Amino acid sequence: MDVDEDGLEGPAAATGNRDLLCAPSASTADAPQLQRATAAFVCRDERFRLEKRTYDSQYAPIYFCRLEIMTPMLLERVAQGWPGVPVSKILDLPEGQEVAVVGTIYKEMKLKPSILDEYNKERGLENLTGRAKLAAPDDTLVLEDASARMALRGDGCPPGPLVTGVVAAVRGAAAPGGDFDVKAVLFAHLAPQPERPRAPPGPAKYVALLSGLGIGEGGDPARLALAVEYLGGFLGGATEQAMSAQVVRTVVAGGLLASSQALEAPPPQGGAAKLRQPALSLGPLKEADMVVAQLAAAMPVDVMAGAADPANQALPQQALHACLLPNAAAYPTLHRVTNPHEFEVDGVAFLGTSGQNVADVLRYSEGDDAAEALTRVLEWGHLVPTAPDTLAAYPFAADDPFVLRACPHVLFAGNQPEFATRMVTGREGQRVRLVCVPRFCDSGTLVLVNLATMAVHPITFDASLEA
Amino acid sequence: MAECSAAVSDAVLADLKTLVGEELKAISYKWLARERSLPVNLAKQLLFAFAEAHRGKPTQPKDAADVWNSDSLQTTALFVALAQARSEANCLADNRCSAVVCPQAARDPDLVRSKVAAAAAAAAAAAAGGSGAGGAPAPAGKTVEKIRSIAAGGKGGAHQPAAPPAAAANGASAAARQPTAAPAPAASKSSSAASAGPSSWPGAPQAARGEAQAKAAPGRKGASGNALTSMWSKAPPAKAKLAPASAPATGGGGRSGGGAAKAPAGGKGKGKASGAAGSKLAAQRAVDADAALQLQQEDGNASSDSESGGFTPAAGAAAGARGRALCSGDDESPAKPAAKHAREASASGARRSLLDESDSDSDEPMVEASGSQDAEAAPADPAAAQPAKELAAKAARKGAGKPKPAAKPPAKRARAKAAPAAVGSEGDDADVVVELNGGEASDAPGNATQPAKRRKGSAKAAPAAQPGKVKAHGTAGAQRRRVQRTVINDDGEEVTETVWESDGAGSPDPAPATAAPPIGKGDPGGPCAPSGQTVGAKGAARAGGDGAGEGSPQPSQSPSPAKGAKPGAKKGGAGSGAGGGKGASGKGASGKGKGAGQGQRGIMSFFAKM
């Protein structure tokens, strides 16, 4: 798997931004309106959509299904990577013979919060306070398959970057004490990728990725207004507007609101406060509605729910209710979509989340690099490996929709601390553009993805006048 | 700059001089473009030209927020306008000022409406009705007809088509705008809405009952407050179902637009003693943009609720009706008193239904009362009905499956009514009552009550409205018990009845008597009954309600009512009449309580009502 850190594109040298600093030209004012580019759009969210939610099943079936679905993938990888190595179940492990075992990894973590800590007054509290990362050097791994579990040891499989829920194949031999001495480990790797159609002639089209608007947080609303103006085709000179006209779709990858706590607060009883308080708490929502509506007035917009948005918390998060965006919902271009969101634009397959998966992987593994975590997710072949262990997920009874059965062309995660991108090339020639979409309220950055070249074009807005 | 825009640009530059030079306003190209509906690039150029021409005069704002603020305010205002569909040419609707056009991104308000449609349609109408002033009685008659037809097996279909019923919807908006004005249309509207809800349901009798129940919920709640409150699930499960229903009413108002904004207030107001207060509140809300959004959301909720529960639409309508009733107190229209009574009667009926009294004969009186109200309603302005009708039609269109069917039945009713009364636009309450009782009423021809009624009432009594006895509904009682009682009535007959007794309340005075007068008035054929009479009928109905509580089966109530009930009725009537304008609703209620017979209710029940 090759990782290419490049892939950024900027404004074409010829255009620059000359026209921003001079008088608007007569030709600009007289020019006919540009026509926004269009692209074929296919939504592939079916598997994330929960028409009927029942919570009477346990979570175990998810792991069972995950193992069932991914075992064939891993067996294939074992056959390719370790030809001649027999595959065994944990219960049937032979003594002294090198075998491959496929199973689900469980990471034994001392710092992992436990629901029982709440009842333990003596210890554990110090571990739970102020710890953003719960990985520790002495974490250990356990491998489970349908038959049994065994502890993993050895250098072939360092626990640091791994998290619970990853399905892996390990090669090694049984060691005394019921452990397994791991020499090497394989993951599902990139699934087969549909061929990306040749880009149609003409100027390249773009998909804009935006996330973490954080409305209601007290950030700089002018910055967001600028971004909306840019995408809407107001801002800038002829060059910028022409660029904006090539943006065929905006995806808001979660984080419309900074917090929905105000919405969850029970309404005060009686009196004028009953009228006033909801109005206050609805302020951010109303503003979000306006922002989304302005975007939707300009182009197709996909709005995904995020961790702090007023939607269900468990993945897959369902689409925001139309009543939350009453104005925006009047635009046929507004698509309220699920949180893992999969779609195709002109044949380019996108898959992304609002960032919970990456954040949780980072929390329970070593390293701080979101792009790296996203790369690992892709390598593991599972979009949300830590669900349902440490990340809330719907208790699917007969499926695990987060398994990456097909490799997208663009894998993105919203609400990341900073912008990052990578081009990952798989063993079979899959090329995946990874994009960490930064929180807009922190960075003022939105990301354009070039559908023709898969290059990424971040645009940062700054509304301060001091510069 | 293009030739064609030369004049425009001159005008804009002149304006800029004022805005920047005198008002010291920070202006952005976006603001200018939206304000004047110019292409952004032209706006930029104009600003540049202005800056060039007044070099040094315009200054850069110290803070970017200055620019953003004006933009944001403008955007907000445009959005409010957009949400309320105030103007067609809203530059936010299709991004027309932008340099980049996206044809498929045009706003389509129907998208939202369809989502919220089902609830919205009924709710809007109801809300409108609620805000509306005093009601025209007409609807009641229709309802009765409808109910009867249902009971009789779909006879309703035969009725000639009538315009008036539809009027409700339109009236709603009008009412919202002018809460105190034009009572008649509003009333008609609300009534239609109410009827619409139930009509959509399959089983006729069930429908009737459902409606009654739905209505009842708000009525009961009336003491404590508005529909919103109920939304937040203070209520026990049974109520909870109803509660959502009330929500639509308010929501509907919100959605119907600026004018409509008031309507919700009406819905709220219902709980309050004075309609005026409610309307004021509503007005406030309308003004507040935030409130508008909230309302919309409520709409949304309402819609979802309605989808889940069949009762919702009806409930919404009921709420609206109630709200209207309250508002009506303020109205100056002649119809008002009658309408009020009707409402009260209906309210009592609703309550009763809540208590599961539906089967008793005692319900009949209510029917009659409504009938009388209808008659009175006749004077109401027919013209008003028309707009209402349009609105209703709209609502129906919007509404998904449910609303549509619902809308029809009301229309039928309206027609039925209109025929006799000539105009009928009337209160929902009346309708509700009818529905509750309707099935029974038709069946109860042989009732002893009838004679009593005749005696009392004007000769006109409609044949359809069989005499019933008036049952007292325990209006207020927070806690009631069901008690079997045997009493000797005025005729010397022994009557055994099941009565809902307020805690501590004394003997159940079978209040059946009240009903009689209403019948006379209710006479459809007659011109509007004198207000006094109507009132009396109403009062009687009310009084009966109070006294008896929920008592379902009052077998032979007929004669007895005359005595106890009559005085009560009169009292009620007097009270309402005196109340006249504002206090009417509040007063009416209290008067009602008195009429019922104080001995029967504990002091707490009195407060509960308040």
| Beta-carbon separation of B229 and A269 below 8 A | yes
Distance, in Å, from the CA atom of B292 to the CA atom of B288, rounded to the nearest integer, reads 6
Q: Answer for the pair B77, B23: CB distance below 8 angstroms, yes or no.
A: no
pLDDT digits (tens, 9 = 90+) for B426-449: 333 333 333 333 333 334 333 433
The verdict on a CB contact (< 8 Å) between A330 and B107 is yes
- Answer with the residue of higher pLDDT: B133 or A148: A148
Asked whether residue A449 falls in the same domain as residue A406, the answer is yes
pLDDT band at A170 (very low <50, low <70, confident <90, very high): very high
pLDDT of residue A131: 60
What's the gap in Å between the CA of B582 and the closest CA on chain A?
Answer: 21
A218-243 mean pLDDT:
84
The stretch B407-431 carries a mean pLDDT of 38
> Domain end: A168, A186, A204, which one?
A186
- For residues B282 and B292, give the distance between their C-alpha atoms in angstroms, rounded to a whole number: 11
Task: Say whether pLDDT at A104 is over 80.
Answer: yes
**Residue A467 falls within a domain, yes or no?**
no
Cβ contacts from A onto B, under 8 A: 182
CATH code assigned at A177: 2.40.50.430
**Which tens digit of pLDDT belongs to each residue from B505-549?**
444 444 443 333 333 333 333 333 333 333 333 333 343 334 333
> Which of B1, B65, B288 is nearest residue A29 as measured by Cβ atoms?
B1
What are B41-66's pLDDT values in tens digits? 888 888 888 888 877 765 666 776 77
pLDDT in tens, A437-454: 999 988 889 999 999 888
Cβ(A251)–Cβ(A350) below 8 Å: yes
Say yes or no for a CB contact (<8 Å) between A234 and B304.
no
Query: Chain B closest CA to A309's CA: distance in Å?
Result: 16
Checking phi first, is residue B178 left (phi over 0); if not, alpha (psi -120 to 50) or beta? beta
Residue A318 is assigned to a structural domain of this protein: yes
Q: Looking at the complex, does the CB of residue A331 fall below 8 Å from at least one CB of chain B? A: yes
Instruction: Confirm if B461 and B483 have CB atoms less than 8 A apart.
Output: no
Tell me the residue type at A182: V
Q: How far is B32 from chain A (nearest CA, A)?
A: 12
Instruction: Specify the pLDDT at position B601.
Output: 64
Query: Domain range for residue A114?
Result: 82-186
Give the model's pLDDT for residue B81: 80
The answer on A198 and A182 residing in a single domain is: no
Segment B471-482, tens digit of pLDDT: 444 344 446 667
CA atoms of B58 and B40, how far apart (whole Å): 20
Give the Cα-Cα-Cα angle A315, A320, A326 (nearest 5 degrees). 175
Of the residues A142, A161, A186, the one at which a domain ends: A186
| Model-wide pTM > 0.90 | no
Residue A61 falls inside a structural domain: no
Q: How much is the pLDDT for B205?
A: 37
Whether A280 and A134 map to the same domain: the answer is no
Instruction: With beta carbons under 8 A apart, name residues in chain B contacting A282.
Output: 290, 293-294, 297
Q: Which residue in this structure is represented by tokens 């050097």?
A: A137
Between the ranges A73-77, A242-246, B127-131, B452-456, where is the mean pLDDT highest?
A73-77
Q: What pLDDT does B251 receive?
A: 34
Q: Same domain for A87 and A11? A: no
pLDDT at A467: 53
- Domain contains A302: yes
CB contact under 8 A, A29 and B71: no
Lowest-confidence range among A49-63, A286-300, B37-51?
B37-51
Tokens found for residue B82: 């957009």
CA distance B370 to chain A (A): 33
Alpha carbons B137 and B434: distance in angstroms, whole number: 12
pLDDT-derived band at A99 (thresholds 50, 70, 90) equals very high
For residues A177 and A214, state if they share a domain. no
Is residue B216 within 8 Å of residue B91, measured between CB atoms?
A: no
3-state helix/strand/coil string of chain A: CEEECCCECCCCCCCCCHHHCCCCCHHHHHCCCEECCCCCEEECCHHHCCCCCCCCCCCHHHHHHHHHHHHHHHHHHHHHHCCCCCEECCCCCCCCCCEEEEEEEEEECCCCCCHHHHHCCCCCHHHHCCCCCCCCCCCEEEEECCCCEEEEECCCCCCCCCCCCCEEEEEEEECHHHEEEEEEEEECCCCCCCCCCCCCCCCCCEEEEEECCCECCCCCHHHHHHHHHHHHCCCCCHHHHHHHHCEEEEEEECCCECCCHHHHCCCCCCCCHHHHHHHHHHHHHHHHHHHHHHHHCCCCEEEECCCCCCCCCCECCCCCCHHHCCCHHHCCCEEEECCCEEEEECCEEEEEECCHHHHHHHHCCCCCCHHHHHHHHHHHCECCCCCCCCCCECCCCCCCCCECCCCCCEEEEEEECCCEEEEEECCCCCEEEEEEEEEHHHHCEEEEEECCCCCEEEEECCCCCCC
Which of A186, A220, A237 marks a domain boundary? A186
Chain B partners within 8 Å of A275 (Cβ): 281, 284-285, 291, 294
> In chain B, whose CA is at the least distance from the CA of A464?
B64
> Residue written as tokens 């004490």?
A177
Total domains, chain A: 2
With 0-12 / 13-18 / 19 or more C-beta atoms within 10 angstroms meaning exposed / middle / buried, residue B104 is exposed
Mean pLDDT of B64-92: 75
Which has the higher per-residue pLDDT, A364 or B100?
A364
Provide the shortest C-alpha distance from residue A281 to chain B (in Å). Answer: 10
Distance of residue B303 Cα from the nearest chain A Cα, in angstroms: 9
Terminal CA-to-CA distance of chain B, rounded, Å? 68
* More reliable by pLDDT, A466 or B308: A466
Q: Are B122 and B317 in contact (CB under 8 A)?
A: yes
pLDDT of B229 higher than 80: no
Q: Which of A23, A29, A266 comes nearest B42 by C-beta? A: A29
pLDDT band of residue A66 (cuts 50, 70, 90) is: very high
Give the pLDDT of residue B242.
38
pLDDT mean across residues, chain B: 47
How far apart, in whole angstroms, are the C-alpha atoms of residue B571 and residue B567?
Answer: 6
Q: Which of B107, B225, B284 sits opposite A297 (nearest CB)?
A: B107
What CATH number corresponds to the domain at position A429? 3.60.21.50
First to last CA, chain A: 42
Q: How many CB atoms lie within 10 A of CB B223?
A: 18
**Residue numbers in A near B99 (CB within 8 A):** 31, 33-34, 233-234, 241, 244-245
pLDDT of residue A361: 92
Q: Are residues A162 and A207 in the same domain?
A: no
Contact B41 A278 (CB under 8 A): no
pLDDT reading at A169 higher than 90: yes
Nearest CA in chain A to B101: A35
User: Which pLDDT band, with edges at 50, 70 and 90, does B90 fall under?
Assistant: confident
**Which residue among B48, B102, B301 places its CB closest to the CB of A298?**
B102
- Give the model confidence (pLDDT) of A304-345 as tens digits: 999 888 888 888 999 998 888 888 888 889 999 999 999 999
User: How many other C-beta atoms lie within 10 A of the C-beta of residue A363?
Assistant: 18
* Range ranked top by mean pLDDT from A436-450, B47-61, B147-161, B225-239: A436-450
Assess A209–B contact: CB distance below 8 Å, yes or no.
Answer: no
A62 lies in some domain: no
**SS3 sequence, B357-407?**
CCCCCCHHHHHHHHHHHHHHHCCCCHHHHHHHHHHHHHHHHHCCCCHHHHH
Instruction: Kindly report which listed range (A109-118, A255-264, B115-124, B209-218) carries the lowest average pLDDT score.
Output: B209-218
Proportion of chain B in helix, strand, coil states, percent, rounded to 5: 70, 5, 30
Residues A378 and A419 in one domain: yes
Partner-chain residue, chosen from B60, B79, B284, that has the shortest CB–CB distance to A465: B60
pLDDT top residue among B147 and A50: A50
Same domain assignment for residues A260 and A127: no
Query: Per the structure block, which two tokens stand in for B285?
Result: 């809300």
Both A252 and A276 in one domain: the answer is yes
A270 at interface of B, judged by CB pairs closer than 8 A: yes
Question: Nearest Cβ partner of A327 from B82, B99, B105?
Answer: B82
Decide: B145 and B417 in contact? Cβ < 8 Å.
Answer: yes
pLDDT at A455 over 80: yes
3-class secondary-structure state, position B159: coil
Separation in Å, CA of A446 to nearest CA in chain B: 19
State the average pLDDT for chain A.
Answer: 85
pLDDT number for residue A30? 61
The pLDDT assigned to A449 comes to 92
d(CA A282, CA A293): 16
Choice between B82 and A405, residue whose per-residue pLDDT is larger = A405
A65 inside domain = no
Q: Predicted confidence band at B606 (pLDDT cuts at 50, 70, 90)?
A: low
Q: Of A74-83, A316-325, B351-360, which gets the smallest average pLDDT?
A: B351-360
Q: Is the pLDDT at A396 greater than 70, yes or no? A: yes
Is there a single domain that holds both residue A247 and residue A127? no
Residues A175 and A222 in one domain: no
pLDDT for A352: 93
Q: Do A112 and A239 fall into the same domain?
A: no
Three-class SS state of B356: coil
Strand partners, A108: A140
| Partner-chain contact B107 A331, CB within 8 Å | yes
**Interchain contact, B290 vs A280, CB within 8 Å:** yes
Give which of A19, A30, A334 to mutate to test B binding, by max B Cβ within 10 Å: A30
> What is the arithmetic mean of pLDDT over B354-381?
38
pLDDT in tens, B20-32: 777 777 788 888 8
Q: What is the mean pLDDT of residues A84-103?
A: 90
Q: Quick one: pLDDT at residue A355?
A: 92
Inform me whether the pLDDT recorded for B91 exceeds 60.
Answer: yes
Q: CB-based contact (8 Å) between A203 and chain B?
A: no
Average pLDDT for B79-87: 72
Select from A239, A243, A327 the residue whose CB has the most chain B CBs within 10 Å, as the one to mutate to test that interface.
A327
Burial of A303 (0-12, 13-18, 19+ CB in 10 A): buried
**pLDDT of res. A208:** 94
Q: Which pLDDT belongs to residue A350?
A: 94
Q: Quote the CA–CA distance of B328 and B531 in Å, as a whole number.
A: 15
A129 pLDDT band, cuts 50/70/90, is: low
Residue A418 in any domain: the answer is yes
Subunit contact A332:B106, Cβ cutoff 8 A: yes
Does residue A425 lie within any of the structural domains?
A: yes
Higher pLDDT: B225 or B83? It is B83
Q: What share of chain B in percent tops pLDDT 90?
A: 0
Q: Which of A225, A326, A331 is opposite residue B293, by nearest beta carbon? A: A326
